[in-house]
Structure 1
Amino acid sequence: MQNLNFTVDADGIALIAIDLPDRSMNVITPGLTQELAAAVERVAAEVGIRGAVLTSAKAEGFVAGADIGFMAGLLEDGIDAPAGARLAEPLSLVLRRLEICGKPFAAAINGLALGGGLELALACHYRVLADAPKVAVGLPEVGLGLLPGGGGTQRLPRLIGIEKSLPLLLTGQQLRPAEALKLGVVHALAEPAQVVQAARQWLLASPKATQPWDEKGYRVPGGAGPTASHVSRTVTAATTLAAAQTQRNLPAPLAILSAVYEGAQLPMDGALAIERKYFGQLLASDVARNLMRTMFINKQRCDKLANRPAGVPKAKVTRLGVLGAGMMGAGIAYSAANVGIDVVLLDATQEQAERGKQYAQNTLDKAVSRGRSTPQKAAAVLARIHPTTDFAALAGCEFVIEAVFEQRGVKAEVTRKAAAAMAGDAVFGSNTSTLPITGLAEAFERPADFIGVHFFSPVERMPLLEIILGEKTSQATLARALDLAEQLRKTPIVVNDSRGFFTSRTFGTFIKEGVAMLQEGVLPALIENAARQAGMPVGPLAVVDEVSLEITLKVYDQWVADGAQPLHEPALSVNLMRKMVEELGRKGKAAGAGFFEYPADGKKRLWPGLAQLCPPQASQPDVEELKRRFLTIQALEGARCIDEGVVRDPADADIGSILGIGYPAWTGGVLSYIETVGLQRFVEQARDFAARLGPRYEPPADLLRRAAEQQAYHPPMAAAA
């Protein structure tokens, strides 16, 4: 066998160790499934075999799930729902045969077991899990727009009950060993080196070779079907909640609910057929393809620094300088200290610097109170943050990040002071969301060592880091910035210098389009609801209130002062915002008044005065058109960034749009959305909008060329995987 090591000891215990060649981690492949089928039949047929232990021969983990590269190739070629269901059938049948073959199987889970890996373990009659910090089990398929196709939606509810299993299935939550034991997902924990022996001891005790659900009189824990006491919570309420949270753009959660509800009322063989049916429907959808490509294949490439310049030695930051202890600087400091980096947190006064450290203290206190950390670990993180006002403290820093106010003069002043104190080979990164890096680098005497590092707030929760190359930024500096992103556990994208770069430019179109709709006479509630129904996390009017209308105007005015050409007919939105700020004093949420009101009871509501400021038109547009406008205007900006050479890799545009600005995940990102619609059809829709709404909807030249030549932005998924 190529993928399995099969041995039988003197006690008649078979050890089946999974070991895919040329893979750092085991995954479920057609070849492995075939060999598992043969191994199960051998165990069942050989009289001298009492039972079997399933484990992994790899130290990195048990089984990490399906072979996404193989699945991606199928999706690229196109697959319908029946074919998708048939794809799940071999593994589903093998695991069913394993549990009813008449011989006991024990899973010795010596590492990570996700997706198909956990499904394989669940089919075994006994499960021992390695008790180690990096070990976890879970069914994360929902994150790829799928559901478990190897029995996960049927065995997990039968094992721990529908009410406990649905949160795991609907969120893809990974369980640490203690959690898995407490929930009953595994039977026992053992030291990593002892899991096989623990599983073997269970087999030597002559256990039953049947699953609970195959025994007479079995009932799903907590009940199943319409008469179960929990049905109003687990089915009715959960379906309503899932529909509201996903706006029905993500079909997987509803399919999971249906598969669990229907399957739990049937014998296992019928239940598995139900699961495969829903799996096939999901696999055939555009959503699965988009999520698989962007959130798995391409995100993994970014996380592994696929675009890191070759030939540059890896660098590790041991001491990081952070200039500015406001919310952004404090978040960067905490995130760095949390991964073991010493941080010099510098501000104009000691009080301000200490306040930045207090942000870390507050965050750590919450983590301890919720059981996510210990007082000892929290104290160690806090001890790594050194608040100061002395620029000389930057001397030992390998990397310094400026996170002061978004104003060129302020940034230049602190940059010059830092440069005088920094080591000659240290990198300087500017955290800016809009100001061109090349211009900011003029205040630094070594522009080759100057780079943009755009963090997103709150830093400790937002996974993206947008890295921006100035005209003189060296490849060695890029490599070091990417290495820091890896240390900070951020997903990095790399873009070339441009005002607003990629994320701010693209997100700006969303905000301005919402305000433009308001000026057109679209009801504000319809604007906000259409944006959320499209999949945006927050409506544009609420977002600009959060950012502040005043700050938005200052950024615009800075563009004008710099002689930059503002994009996308800003008069549609800027004039209205200026009137809100300068004439009405409605500056945004922080000021207590913007497009929304913020009463003392804390429940915000749209400002009624908008009806007088922007009288609504008698006939309101269709919500579907508004949704398309929001998605299209941002996708067009992504296409322009490709056209202008701002975005170097289309994968970065998709990942950046989802992780950075909340573009709907179901689309796969701005460029994947264009491909989902179809390049030519997208161009036609954009031109229709342009004819009715203005030239901001005109497609760029590169998109027109791609549409004419049917040239996609992304390479085939199998090749990328």
Structure 2
Amino acid sequence: MSEVVTYTREDRVGVICVNYPPVNALGHGVRSGLVAALEQGLADAGAGVLLLVCEGRTFMAGADIREFGKPMLEPTLPEVIHRFENSTKPVVAAIHGTALGGGLETALGCHYRVAVASARVGLPEVKLGLLPGAGGTQRLPRLTGAAKALEMITRGDPIGAEEALALGIVDAVEPDGDIRQVGLAFARRVLAEGRPVRRVRDLTDKLEADRGSEVFQQFRDALKIRARGLFSPFKCVDAVEAAFTLPFDEGMKRERALFLDCMASPQRAGLVHAFFAERQVAKVKGLAKETPVREVRRVGVVGAGTMGGGIAMNFANAGMPVVLLDASQDALDRGLAVIRRNYEHSARKGKLSPAQIEERMARIQPSLDYDDLRDVDLVIEAVFEDLAVKQAIFARLDAVCKPGAILASNTSTLDIDAIASATRRPEDVVGMHFFSPANVMKLLENVRGRRTSDEVKATVMAVARRIGKVGVMVGNGYGFVGNRMLHVRGAEALALVNEGASPQQVDRVLTDLGFPMGPFAMADLAGLDVGYRIREERRKAGVVVPDSWMDTLVARGRLGQKTQAGVYRYEDGSRTPLPDPDVATLIEDFRRAQGIATRTIDDQEILERCLYVMINEAARILEEGIADRPLDIDVIWIHGYGFPAYRGGPLFWADQVGLDTILAAVRGYHERLGGESWRPAPLLERLVREGRCFGDLT
């Protein structure tokens, strides 16, 4: 008998119990133990029903990540589930915590399922570039019908116990409590009522209802937009459709073939890297695991504009009271109105109830008085990028906030140490760079200053998790990690247009790679005045930043989507960028005034100059210690800038392209174009010389 799976009996209930911390993952030991325990239960004449239950905080939460990329040892998970499904005694799965991926597939192989109210179930394999490969695409639609199965499998998001009950995925939901006792009570009911073995594979009513439906083509059409460029979501649809067109055993074979197609896709490697990298960034290099974390119960936000309002929403959504401060009542009123509109938009999508809107709005206390920040545990400044203005605010916060309060800036480029110098407590000052829209984007770039305490670093990383963000700790320096790379790409994109490309051609090359939008459409979304202020701050600091036609757009009041005109024009109520002849004329005038002779620029040059310059800059960022690891950079760009996750992030992608190829191109562009951004980074040169890649750095 396996050490991680045991068999015991309570009255006439044979109990198969998995105990494999931390999440009861379905590794080889668990799979072998499940088969052995099942055989023992079937041989036990005193057991009339079998119960599958897990110790710890969760049911089986999926595959064992330690086995990723290794040959699967017998018994495979489909074999284990087949054995449970064909048990001659009814098998009940008792679910608490999460039943995800192979965990839910195992539960679907049982004959009955009971869950506690807080449980969640799902099939998230698509997020790793895969599809459920142990019968999930064949059994789930037999319970839910086609549409809901397709939604769950192609999105990969878990659902709660009550929804699972309504869909027929579980047979009962009980109040939270001891899962073993919940399972035993349900198993005894199955025995007392003489319920038969009921195999999901034999259910056909939902199949008959949806057979011949147009839902599959409708999903494929929707995925062309929602999952543009992705491979596995379309294979998921093919697999689910097989449940409706093939006998069960043939459908299982079809699922397996499609699963292997996904395994062979390069997208799987990128998504798996992104998956592990996202979990690894929470472990900050040099920060001891036992570092104390300060309690954060009440938060202040200075600035009720787009960023400040979005930041406040994050904390209100997490159940935390927020003081939202601004200098004028008009600004506060506008900010609160935008927050309410955002919540009402979510309500129209069915994500919030009217009561929940009011609860969240009630957590946000508007204020014009800094004294209202006296008892906050964390205050985040979110005003425009002007160092003098931020320093004045931090001096005021230093005077008002209680000892131990964390003073954070949402600056996207400015020197955290310079901001901290306005206070008498630089150890309590940190950057917390949210990404726009702050209530939506997952990334939180936490910036350590020279004197930021370990306690403050640990606290802001914990706060990121609490509000549902992916926190990455980075060092201090212009633009930190994300914007420093973004700005060299932006300069190159601008140069390409100056030399003859159009903004729409540059944007298309980047969206073809998998970005949701290109640099010029993104600038319009953020607001062209944001970039303009950053350029002005750099000019004040003595940095030579050439004038450009982008500055002219700002001077003409074309600030992007918010004015319906920027690099592109926008029709009423639409966010679709449309080429504008006026901008084309403005660019031509700028080229003539600068004496620039234009030429035809091909897509490959655009790709190389926009991406390779970022890779070169990233190598410098690593050398300087602004980013601790390549995976930190990958996570920042996936969650903050829309780098396609299936490509694994910019440095994972660079390794796939080949660092020797990139270095050769960087050297060529440096010879042709000059400029510091094209000077080959020493780290890039060293890696190529040593035959290593970014993935070799830890």
Same fold (TM over 0.5): yes
One-letter amino acid of the structure 2 residue matched with residue 125 of structure 1: H
Q: CA separation in 2, counterparts of 1:237 and 1:517?
A: 39
How many Å separate the matches in 2 of 1:412 and 1:96? 65
Question: 1:29: how far off?
Answer: 0.4
* Structure 1 residues 61 and 323, CA gap change in structure 2 (3 angstroms): same
> Deviation digits for residues 177-211 of structure 1, max 9, x if unmatched?
11111122222212233243113312443333242
Query: Which amino acid in structure 1 is aligned with residue 570 of structure 2?
Result: Y
SS in 2 for 1:501: coil
Asked if the contact 1:142/1:171 (under 8 Å) is kept, the reply is: yes
Pair 1:38-2:36 in alignment = yes
* Residue matched to 2:594: none
Q: In the alignment, what sits opposite 1:677?
A: 657
User: Aligned to 1:703, which of 684, 687, 692?
Assistant: 684
Alignment deviations for residues 610-666 of structure 1 (CA, whole Å, 9 cap, x no partner): 444556999965545544544433333322211222112322211111111111111
Alpha-carbon contact 1:158-1:221 (below 8 Å) kept: no
The answer as to whether partners of 1:61 and 1:113 remain within 8 angstroms in 2 is: yes
Supply the distance in 2 between the matched residues of 1:218 and 1:18 (Cα, whole angstroms): 33
- Secondary structure class of the residue paired with 2:209: coil
How far apart are 1:470 and its partner, in Å? 2.1
CA distance in structure 1 between the aligned counterparts of 2:299 and 2:292, rounded to whole angstroms = 19
The offset of 1:493, in angstroms, is: 0.9
Deviations 1:104-141 (A, max 9, x none): 22211123111111000111121112112xx2100011
Unaligned runs of 5+ in 1: 75-82
User: Which residue of structure 2 aligns with residue 590 of structure 1?
Assistant: 562
Is this contact kept in 1: 2:385–2:533, CA < 8 A? no
Matched, 1:173 2:167: no
Structure 2 partner of 1:294: 274
- Aligned-partner Cα distance in 1 for 2:672–2:226: 32
Does structure 2 conserve the Cα–Cα contact (< 8 Å) formed by 1:138 and 1:172?
A: yes
Could you tell me which residue of structure 2 aligns to residue 220 of structure 1?
A: 207
Q: 1:349 to 1:482 in 2, by over 3 A?
A: same
1:654 to 607, 611, 634: 634
TM-score (norm 1): 0.87
Deviation at 1:268, TM superposition (A): 2.3
Residue pair 1:322, 1:344 contacting (<8 A) in 2 also = yes
Which sits farther off after the overlay, 140-149 or 314-323? 314-323
User: Structure 2: how far apart are the matches of 1:88 and 1:327?
Assistant: 55
* TM-superposition CA deviations, 1:307-363 (whole Å, max 9, x none): 644553221112222211222222222322332333222211244335434444444
Does the 8 Å contact 1:346/1:387 carry over to 2?
A: yes
Which residue of 576, 581, 591 maps to 1:608? 581
1:110 aligned to 2:96?
A: yes
The residue type paired with residue 598 of structure 1 is Y
Aligned partners of 1:534 and 1:475: how far apart in 2?
A: 39
Taking the aligned partners of 1:10 and 1:479, their CA distance within structure 2 comes to 49
| Whole-Å separation in 2 of the counterparts to 1:699 and 1:593 | 37
> Is contact 1:325–1:345 with CA below 8 Å preserved after alignment?
yes
Alignment equivalent of 1:189, drawn from 160, 163, 173:
173
Partner of 1:499: 478
Question: What corresponds to 1:343 in structure 2?
Answer: 322
8 Å Cα contact 1:639/1:671 also seen in 2: no
Distance 1:343 1:618 in 2: 53
- Asked if the contact 2:492–2:610 (Cα under 8 Å) also holds between the matched residues in 1, the reply is yes
Given that 2:284 and 2:473 are in contact with CA atoms closer than 8 Å, whether structure 1 keeps it comes out as no
Distance in 2 separating the partners of 1:432 and 1:381: 26
1:375 CA drift (Å): 5.5
Identify the match of residue 211 of structure 1 among 182, 188, 199: 199
Q: Which amino acid aligns with 1:593?
A: A
Residues 470 and 138 from structure 1, CA distance in 2 versus in 1: closer, same or farther, beyond 3 angstroms? Answer: same
Match of 1:68 among 38, 61, 65: 65
Q: What CA distance in whole angstroms lies between the structure 1 residues aligned with 2:456 and 2:282?
A: 18
The 1:398/1:163 distance shift into structure 2, 3 A limit, reads closer
Question: What aligned pairs does 1:276-425 form with structure 2 within 5 A after superposition?
Answer: 276-295=256-275, 297-303=276-282, 308-309=287-288, 312-366=291-345, 372-373=351-352, 378-425=357-404
**Structure 1 residue 175 displacement after superposition:** 0.8
TM-score normalised to the size of structure 2? 0.90
Quick check: 1:9 aligned with 2:10?
yes
The answer on whether the counterparts of 1:28 and 1:67 sit within 8 Å (CA) in structure 2 is yes
Aligned to 2:644: 664
Question: Distance between the aligned counterparts of 2:565 and 2:651, measured in 1?
Answer: 36
Q: Deviations over 1:271-327 (max 9, x none)?
A: 2222222223323443223322322x2322334667644553221112222211222
- For 1:253-268, list aligned pairs within 5 A: 253-262=233-242, 264-268=244-248
Q: CA RMSD in A?
A: 2.9
Change (3 A) 1:116 1:715: farther
1:198 to 161, 164, 186: 186
CA 1:286–1:212: 2 relative to 1, 3 Å: closer
1:159 corresponds in structure 2 to: 143
- 1:635 corresponding residue in structure 2: 615
Report whether the alignment pairs 1:149 with 2:149. no
Q: Partner of 2:149: helix, strand, or coil? A: helix
8 Å CA contact 2:161–2:173 kept in 1: the answer is yes
Question: Aligned pair in 2 of structure 1 residues 251, 688: CA closer, same or farther (>3 Å)?
Answer: farther
Q: Cα distance, 1:37 vs. partner?
A: 2.0
Distance 2:173 2:366 in 1: 43
* 8 Å Cα contact 2:282-2:472 kept in structure 1: no
**Matched pairs, number:** 684
How many angstroms apart in 2 are the aligned matches of 1:623 and 1:394? 52
By how many angstroms is 1:702 displaced?
Answer: 0.6
Task: Return closer, same or farther for 1:367/1:662 CA change in 2, 3 Å cut-off.
Answer: closer
What is the match of residue 78 of structure 1?
Answer: none
Displacement of 1:586 in angstroms is: 3.7
Cα gap change, 1:136 to 1:715, in 2 (>3 Å): farther
Identify the residue that residue 436 of structure 2 maps to in structure 1: 457
Are 1:94 and 2:80 matched, yes or no?
A: yes
CA contact (8 A) 1:4 1:17 kept: yes
